Amino acid sequence: MKKKVLILTLNDYIIYQPSILNLYDFMQPHFDVTVVSFRPQAMTKQKDETRNIIYLEPNALLKSLITKADYAISLLYKFISKVKPGLRHQHIYYTKYLPGLLKAGVKKNKLTGDIIIATDFPALKVAQEIYGAVHFISLEIENNTSPIFKQINRQLVKSVFIQTQVRYDYLFPGQTLPVFYVQNAPVFDEKAITHYDRHDFIWAGAIDRRLAVYECINFFDRYPQYKLVLKGGIEQKAYQKITDTYSHLITGNRIRFDREYLPASSFLDFLSHFKIGFCFYSWEIIHASFNYYTAPSGKLFMTLAAGVPVIACNIPAFKFLEEYGAGVLVDDYEPETIFAAAQKIEQDYEKYHTACYDAARYFSFDKRVAPYIDFLIEESKH
């Protein structure tokens, strides 16, 4: 009989967490895997029905009240931070309410396993309170100024699955734990290499102001010879702003939304029809968050696996793009800067295109996750 694995995650957009879904698929031949998540509500309402996922249900009224209170308090903190820099509001919905629901849901359903894996610090805190020592997956990093950063018992972490050593050292300074460096990347398949005629630009992933999507769209407003497809989940507020502000680009078919969810293989084929992609973060969150400053984005690796060169913000997380020659890094999002980056790629397109596949081969999820799976198999024998 297979040993049981329980993976806890606090997010409500698991279909946009390829690391969890890919890990599930690679563990499934060896383990009986269950994932606990929350019903999708914000970025998408699409559920993954093909895997064994338990979806917990937040109370709609409470969510509305708490998120509104969080927003009001965050505005107050923003004002206070002008006098006391570094002071930031820890959103109650994510640091208190959802962890409380996760803890109650796990206990109510009497969920357990031979191996317990917690995703990110809020879920890790819950898992340690219930199970003691557990394994840890790091996708999003809490700043070391966050209270929850100090509430984790690092002696009760059995192993760490994380993107880079810089991020590991930030979370576990001076500690020597079993650590596995795995990027939020797809499995690269040589057969997936395509030879389509490539046109237009693609924005792949969450369509969010924090990812500088408005600045990106400004480029297409300035340069009408280019077109953009926005492919991914979007909250209603952002959708309304784009449709209001850039209605002329939409009616002119210069930007368009594509919000249909596609599984990984279909998504890669979809991306392969485009010429150039983007991976931006707003400079505000780059400066405020170690997480974004050092986070190699999942959408970036999907784009590379499709052979699409990328224009990205110039931060340490994306330096490998220059090292592989798979994209161009920019220091600002002015339309002229983006235009110069696009021209640079177009002038030597085949070189950039081929370099994307080279990077995708190196970071392919199956290669990077294999030592972790072997480690858990051995762990389950004890």
- C-alpha distances out from residue 213 to 205, 247, 282, 343, Å: 11, 15, 8, 20
Report the pLDDT value the prediction gives residue 141, as an integer from 0 to 100.
Answer: 87
Is there a common fold for 3-183+365-380 and 190-363?
yes
Calculate helix-pair angle for 213-222, 335-347, nearest 10 degrees. 80
pLDDT over threshold 80, residue 247:
yes
Q: Count CB neighbours of 342 within 10 A.
A: 19
Q: pTM, whole model, 2 decimals?
A: 0.85
Check residue 171 and give left, alpha or beta (phi > 0: left; psi -120 to 50: alpha).
alpha
Q: Count CB neighbours of 350 within 10 A.
A: 7
Token duo for residue 205: 């992933």
* Phi, psi angles (nearest 5°) of residue 130: -90, -45
Instruction: Say which amino acid occupies 270.
Output: F
pLDDT over threshold 70, residue 254:
yes
Tens of pLDDT, residues 274-328 = 999 999 999 988 988 888 889 888 889 999 999 999 999 999 999 999 999 999 9
What's the residue count for the chain?
Answer: 382
CATH topology of domain 190-363: Rossmann fold (3.40.50)
Domain coordinates of the chain in residue numbers? 3-183+365-380, 190-363
Q: Determine the Cα–Cα distance for residues 120 and 60; give it in Å rounded to an integer.
A: 24
Tens of pLDDT, residues 97-156 = 888 899 999 999 999 999 999 999 999 999 999 999 999 999 988 777 778 888 999 999
C-alpha 175, offset from chain centre: 26
- C-alpha distances out from residue 143 to 121, 184, 259, 260, Å: 11, 20, 31, 33
Tens of pLDDT, residues 330-356 = 999 999 999 999 999 999 999 999 999
CATH code linked to domain 3-183+365-380: 3.40.50.2000
